[in-house]
Structures are given as structure tokens and as C-alpha cells.
Amino acid sequence: MSHYFTKYSAWLIYILILSLYGISFYALISFSNNTTFWSISESINIIKYSLFQAGISALLSTFLGLLLARAFFYLEFKGKSFLYKIISFVWSLPAVVVIFAIVGVWGNSGWIAQFFAFWGIKWKFSIYGLQGILFAHLFLNIPFVTKYVLEGLNLTSPNQHKLATQLGLTRWHYFKIVEFPPLKGILPYVFSYVFLLCFTSFPIVLMLGGSPKYSTLEVAIYQAVTFEFDFAKAVILIGIQLVIGLFLQFMMDIASRYAFHSKSTTTQIQHWIPTLSSGSKRFLQLILFLQIFMIFIPLISIFWEAIRVSNFIERLLNPMLWHAFYYSVIISLIASLSVISIAYLITLETRKLAFQHKKIAQSILSGVTTYPLILPVFLLAVGLFVFFIDIELTKLQLLFILGVCNGLVLLPYIYRLIFSPMYQAFIRFDKLAHSLNLTGFNRWWIVEKPYLIRPLLNAFALAMSASLGSFSIIAFFGTPDFSTLPYLLYQQLGSYHTEDAAVTALILMLCALLPFLCINKNKSEQ
């Protein structure tokens, strides 16, 4: 009975996900008309700029992340573990909070401008445009690159460091012979991943772009729907993004195979680190100081700008803030529960197919989990927006739609997170479960629960954290009476209610911090 349940439920989910994307695409096609302001030259300019800013962002993030990882690897200092956790937390911050922090430090009225004004110097730097987009992308992506590069450096054998020191290798030769071999697969992977993230970046480019000159495909789609009401143009742009996205995803899949084919399951503990020359040590200390300064100051500014506002308690108790908080939490709970349920039911079948070496069926079924990566999120968002445009939805229905859509966007990450432990649990305990005649829930509770409970809790915390800061879908469905914390912060920044925005940013950052602490607690217990 349980065999048929897992089989049919997994394939039913496959059909439902396909149907949902099909409905979205059909709604877009049927709603669009022949009149459009789309032009090839405009699209080419948008594509050129999208590729350019993504390339620059990915290149700088990879380079600076590599330097920061080397600083963490070679330098020993008090508070190193705590500092690394703070940097890791930055990567989980919602993009709208990052935008608020960047503007608060580097903007025309930010901390840097105030510091220069104190000394009688006029701050002429503008945070809006390419430079602002790069700042925000670097702030978010350097911690991600640092994490993976540091893991790669930890795979280097201490004997290689000792031998290189005995041979007198320094600087470039040391990096080329000792450090680069474990990184030669990881660096292309992190570059391609950051490139894909920056290419599809939406809130950062929308709010820091400053003009249509700095528009990316997703921002152009949003403007075509919300400002121009040109749905035919939106369909064309979504099609262009789909083609480019397929190519980028294909390249990232190739890079990921080389990145992790030799990676061990546990990080090797370094028992011997070479002594650095005074020049190399000072250089890494400078890198560490400058990058920590660039990451810490915006984080501190969020706290400081929030607690120093006038009438802090009154703004904190603002009903709009807590309505948005309530909607954000409900949407995140729906998203987390739905994506974990979907990923779990699919994995129950795919792990069995993998064990039985039915590769074609497994590839087809597991392939549905990659659709949210390949298909633009705006295909789902805009399609459902058009599909329900003439229907007056209740708030409960909106909460459910947004929750499920946010959950689907996270499906690729949650599926990858739980597949490996679920497959290992199946291999280890399948014979035991059959010998005890355990099936269904009894099998899970008695045999697999101790092995899977932590990965599932980590997946839930990750889904909660990511969906709390999600902005792309609520951007189409949000109203003054129905908003989440990211959408409320976007409205407050757009209307220059900076003091209200400071309090909202603080609450949103604290909401992202709680799931992050939960994940790190589980890791430390393991």
C-alpha cells in the first residue's frame, strides 16, 4: 500500500508542477496582444548590461572571496569562529535589508558621507547605478564564495604545505602548486553560481539601478507588467530569459560536477599551517580588516539606525508592521511545509528508483525539482498574476498562493539538501525495515526518524529564512493592505519613510537570524 502511495503521489506532484507552469504560460500568452513596445535593440541592450553586471559581480566576488578565505585559513586570532559565523549569516540576509544597509552607509546621507562632512569634505559618490548594484552583490556573495573556497583549502593535505615550505615555494608558485588543485573545480562552480544569481537579480537592480539604463531582464519584465501593461513584451522577455537561463544552468551543472567529484563528506582538520612571511601576513590582515569593515559596518548600521529613530516604541508597535510580520510568517510557514512535503514525497520515489538503477525514470522525476531554476520565477509570478487578475481573491487564498509559489522557488535547494541523507537512510535501513515488517509512518518513526530529523529541521529553517525575505512574487500581488515585511520595506524606502524603514529592516533581519541560529545549533550538535 505504501509503495503505491509514494509512487503515485510523486508522479502526481510532477504533473501538478508542470500544470502550474503550463497554466501560468497559457495565461500570459492569452492575455498578451499583438500591440507591444518591444524592440530588438532595447532587448539587446538589456541582455548586454545583464551579462556585464553579472560578470563583473561574479568576477569580483570570486576574487575577493578567495582572498578572504585565504585570510581565514592562514591567520589565527581570537573570535575567528564567531567572525566566520557572522559572515555566513550575511549570505542569508534578505536583499531588501542589504539594500537598506548599503544605502545607510554609502548613500548621500549615509555614514561615510557624514564622516567626510565632519571634516568639511563633500561626498560625491552616488550609490545608485552600476556601482551600487556591485556593492550589494559583493556584500551578499563574498561570504558564499568564502565558505566554499575555505572548504576547498581545508581539503589540502598538511604534508603538501610542509613539502612546499621545505622547497621554498612562495606566493604565486605556492598558490599554483599547493592551493589551486583543490580549488580548480570549486572556483568555476562558485563563479557560475554567483553569475546566475546576479544575472537574475531583481530587488537589488530594481532599487539601486537608478534608471532604465541599468535594467536587467527581470526588472524589465516587472516594468513591462506593472508600469507599461505590455504583456506581449513581458512574454518575449521571459522567453529570452528562459533561453539564457537554460544555457547558464547547463554551464553551472557542468561546473558543479567538477567541483564536488572529489570532495569528502567531512572537512579535513588542519594540524599544521605554514608560517607566513611578515609581508604575506600583513597583506592578509589588511584584506581581512577591509572586507570585515565592508561587511560589519552595514550590519551595525541596521541596528543603530533602528534604535536611534524618533518614537522608536511607537514605530515598533505600528499595526502595519505587525500585519506584514504576520503575513510574512504565515507565507513562510506555508512555503516551508509545502516545499518540504513536495521534496520529501519526490525523494521517497527517486531514492527507490536510484537504488533500483532506473536512471531514466529517476532523471525524469527528479528533473521537476530543477524547473524553478531553469524557468524564470517571473513566469510563475506574472502568469499567476494575469490568471487571477479578474478574480477578487481573499487574503487566505493570497496567502496560500504566495506560500506555495515561494515554496516551489526553493524546491531545487531543499531537494538537494534532503536527498543525500534520505538515500543513505534507505540503503542502511531498508533491509532492517523489511525484516521487521515496518511500512509507512511506522517505518519512518522507528527506523529513519533519528537519521533524518536534523536534515529535515535544517531544511525547514533554510526554507523559513529564504521565504521570509522573498520579494519577487509579492511584488506583483502586494497592496497597501496586504504586504509582507520585504514588500513593506520596499514601499517605505520608495516613499522616503526612512525611520519606519529602519525599524522594519531590523525586524526582518532578526527574523532571518532565528532560522540561521537554528541551523548552526543543529550543526554544532552534530
Which carries the bigger pLDDT value, residue 418 or residue 160? Answer: 418
**Residue-wise pLDDT tens digits, 463-477:** 888 888 888 889 888
List, as one string, the DSSP characters of 44-63. HHHHHHHHHHHHHHHHHHHH
Local structure of 109: helix, strand or coil: coil
Local structure of 479: helix, strand or coil: strand
Split at pLDDT 50, 70, 90, the class of 100 is very high
C-alpha closest to that of 224 among 48, 43, 388? 43
Local structure of 1: helix, strand or coil: coil
The CA distance from 468 to 335, in Å, is 9
Domains, the chain, in order of start with CATH, read: 1-31+311-525 (1.10.3720.10), 46-203+272-308 (1.10.3720.10)
Local structure of 482: helix, strand or coil: strand
Lowest average pLDDT, out of 203-217, 414-428, 433-447, goes to: 433-447
For the cut 50, the answer to whether the pLDDT of residue 444 exceeds it is yes
Local structure of 500: helix, strand or coil: helix
The CA distance from 297 to 299, in Å, is 5
- The percent of residues in the chain predicted with pLDDT above 90, rounded, is 24
Write down the pLDDT at residue 319: 92
Instruction: Give the long-range contacts of residues 256-262, CB within 8 A, separation 24 or more.
Output: 256/189, 258/184, 258/185, 258/188, 258/189, 259/148, 259/185, 259/186, 259/188, 259/189, 259/190, 260/185, 260/189, 261/185, 262/182, 262/185
Write down the pLDDT at residue 271: 54
Which carries the bigger pLDDT value, residue 523 or residue 157? Answer: 157
**Residue-wise pLDDT tens digits, 287-300:** 888 888 888 899 89
Judging by beta carbons within 10 Å of its beta carbon (0-12, 13-18, 19+), is residue 228 exposed, middle or buried? middle
Write down the pLDDT at residue 430: 77
The CA distance from 306 to 303, in Å, is 5
In this structure, the dihedral spanned by the alpha carbons of residues 111, 485, 20 and 219, taken in order and rounded to 10 degrees, is -30
Taken as a whole, the chain contains a residue count of 526
Question: In 267-318, where does DSSP find H-type helix?
Answer: 278-307, 312-316
Lowest average pLDDT, out of 78-87, 391-400, 420-429, 511-520, goes to: 511-520
The CA distance from 178 to 160, in Å, is 6
- Look-up of cell digits 564536488: 260
Write down the pLDDT at residue 145: 92
C-alpha cell, 155: 581539503
Neighbours of 274 (CB within 10 A): 16
Which carries the bigger pLDDT value, residue 179 or residue 269? Answer: 179
For the cut 80, the answer to whether the pLDDT of residue 331 exceeds it is yes
Write down the pLDDT at residue 139: 92
pTM: 0.84
Please give the C-alpha separations between residue 220 and each of 195, 202, 208, 231, 406, in angstroms, as whole numbers. 19, 10, 14, 11, 21
For the cut 80, the answer to whether the pLDDT of residue 12 exceeds it is yes
Split at pLDDT 50, 70, 90, the class of 363 is confident
